[in-house]
Amino acid sequence: MIIEIEDDFSLGKMADCGQCFRAVCLPDGSYRFISRENVLNIREQAPHQFQVSCSEEAWEKFWRDYFDLSRTYSRIREDLLMQLSGEGETPFGQTPRGVSEGDAATEAACRQDGADSVERCMPGPDVVSDAAVRFLTQAEQAGRGLRILRQDPWEMLITFILSQRKNIPAIRSAVEKLAMLYGHPVKEMLFTFPSPEELGRASEADLRAAGLGYRAPYVKDAADKVLSGELDLETLEKLDDESLFEKLMTVKGVGKKVANCICLFGFGRTSRAPVDVWIERAVSLCGGVDPFPAFGEYAGIMQQYAFYYMTHQKV
DNA sequence: GACCAGGTGGCCT
DNA sequence: AGGCCACATGGT
């Protein structure tokens, strides 16, 4: 079947941007994505034309949502650039200023992790510094084509617990190993990411043997909390961004950065902008002030452009 | 064979 | 509240 996609849609970038770890480019130039029980082969056969291996029903019911196709990223980029050029005086998702200092909505939009002061979101003359404008403009160009994939929350929970102090290739192999050991086959030599029940069968010692190292008890705790119902991933969907973030932080081994990644990549919360070592470098290139929260509802999308830029270009 | 990786929890002031 | 540091393993 052929799908037409006019909007931003770079398979290469999405498969290699550090948000999904199981997508691969096959020898024939097509890409294979896997999520839950679904496997998709997709190839760009002409500009904006994609050949997909699934049925129309599977595309509409699953993959359209997975690729976040209800959002128009070209439009979002325009908005982001407009804010960069200073035309958008009011950052997304924030109420106009000068009303009242302690405005709850503004404060909520500013808080990325509950610890940061409102201070740095309170825009001075320039919400985003000149250095930041230059950097973010470059980043948007480099990252054009990316989308925030709507991945399985459980898989994101475990994957980003695994991710700490690993590079992307190492995360890939760790996830693949878990799938091989505890998932079930969907095709030959291709395994699902293990469900909470499947992964729950592994003891902490088993997980250490699988190479998780000090993260083994963290993964165990996550599986325990999900299996006991203490962490109900379906219910979490209904929570607002901040409550979701706080709830995720109750899992051992889930700190600010990992919780924000789960919010962004597992729950589609595009206001969350995780700060890792790469983004810290980006922040210093921007003059030392984290520019992402100022993008409000789309902070996570701008962050993803910056992350891609940092990990793929020499800056 | 160093060096570093999409960090975090625990301990210390 | 904020600054160190150990932590296990694998890729480059």
Are A194 and A235 found together in one domain? yes
Are A88 and A131 found together in one domain? yes
Are A79 and A165 found together in one domain? no
Are A279 and A139 found together in one domain? yes
Q: State both tokens at A213.
A: 């190292």
Q: How far apart are the C-alpha atoms of A113 and A242, rounded to whole Å?
A: 8
Task: Report the pLDDT value the prediction gives residue A91, as an integer from 0 to 100.
Answer: 52
Picking from A132, A144, A149, A117, the residue whose alpha carbon sits closest to that of residue A15 is A149
Picking from A276, A271, A262, the residue whose alpha carbon sits closest to that of residue A306 is A276
Task: Report the pLDDT value the prediction gives residue A315, as an integer from 0 to 100.
Answer: 63
Q: State both tokens at A24.
A: 């691969």
Could you check: is the Cβ of residue A171 within 7 Å of any atom of nucleic acid strand B? yes
Q: How far apart are the C-alpha atoms of A261 and A253, rounded to whole Å?
A: 13
pTM: 0.90
Could you check: is the Cβ of residue A115 within 7 Å of any atom of nucleic acid strand C? yes
- DSSP codes, A11-64: HHHHHTSSS-SS-EE-TTS-EEEEETTEEEEEEEEETTEEEESS-HHHIIIIIH
Place of tokens 């043997």: A209
Q: State both tokens at A168.
A: 């992307």
Is residue A257 annotated as part of the catalytic site, yes or no?
A: yes
Q: How far apart are the C-alpha atoms of A32 and A25, rounded to whole Å?
A: 6
Are A134 and A208 found together in one domain? no
**Domain range holding A260?**
153-267
Are A100 and A238 found together in one domain? no
Which of A45, A66, A87 lies at the terminal end of a domain, its last residue?
A66
Place of tokens 């904006």: A48
Are A159 and A139 found together in one domain? no
Task: Report the pLDDT value the prediction gives residue A127, as an integer from 0 to 100.
Answer: 62
Picking from A151, A113, A158, the residue whose alpha carbon sits closest to that of residue A257 is A113
Task: Report the pLDDT value the prediction gives residue A226, as an integer from 0 to 100.
Answer: 98
Beta strand A38-46 with A31-35: parallel, antiparallel or unpaired?
antiparallel
Angle (CA) A243-A248-A252 rounded to 5° is 145
Q: State both tokens at A187.
A: 């095709």
Q: Which residues of A254-271 are buried (b: 16+ CB within 10 A; e: fewer)?
A: bebbbbbbbbbbbbbbbb
Are A135 and A209 found together in one domain? no
DSSP letter at A195 equals: P
Task: Report the pLDDT value the prediction gives residue A3, as an integer from 0 to 100.
Answer: 98
The residues, ordered by sequence, that sit 6+ positions from A108 with a Cβ below 8 Å of its Cβ are A242
Catalytic pick from A166, A177, A252, A257?
A257
Are A106 and A20 found together in one domain? no
Could you check: is the Cβ of residue A211 within 7 Å of any atom of nucleic acid strand C? yes
Q: State both tokens at A301.
A: 């999308």
Which of A24, A46, A66 lies at the terminal end of a domain, its last residue?
A66
Give the phi and the psi of residue A209 in degrees, each rounded to 5: -65, -25
DSSP letter at A32 equals: E
Strand partners, A190: A187
3-class DSSP state of A6: coil
Q: Which window residues (18-47, chain A) lie with Cβ within 7 Å of strand B? A: 18-19
Are A58 and A124 found together in one domain? no
Which of A66, A83, A105 lies at the terminal end of a domain, its last residue?
A66
Task: Report the pLDDT value the prediction gives residue A95, as an integer from 0 to 100.
Answer: 36
Could you check: is the Cβ of residue A243 within 7 Å of any atom of nucleic acid strand C? no
CATH number at residue A204: 1.10.340.30
Q: Which window residues (226-255, chain A) lie with Cβ within 7 Å of strand B? A: 251-255
Residue A107, burial from CB neighbour count under 10 angstroms (0-12, 13-18, 19+): middle
Are A255 and A171 found together in one domain? yes
Q: Confirm if A192 and A297 have CB atoms less than 8 A apart.
A: no
Could you check: is the Cβ of residue A262 within 7 Å of any atom of nucleic acid strand B? no
Angle (CA) A113-A115-A117 rounded to 5° is 110
What total of structural domains would you count in chain A?
3
Nearest protein residue to nucleotide C11 (CA to C1' distance) is A170
Q: What parts of chain A have a pLDDT lower than 50?
A: 88, 90, 93-125
Q: State both tokens at A265.
A: 């990549």
Picking from A12, A11, A127, A131, the residue whose alpha carbon sits closest to that of residue A67 is A11
Q: Confirm if A290 and A115 have CB atoms less than 8 A apart.
A: no
Task: Report the pLDDT value the prediction gives residue A110, as an integer from 0 to 100.
Answer: 41
Are A85 and A177 found together in one domain? no
Could you check: is the Cβ of residue A173 within 7 Å of any atom of nucleic acid strand C? yes
Q: Chain B positions under 7 Å from a protein CB?
A: 4-9
CATH number at residue A24: 3.30.310.260
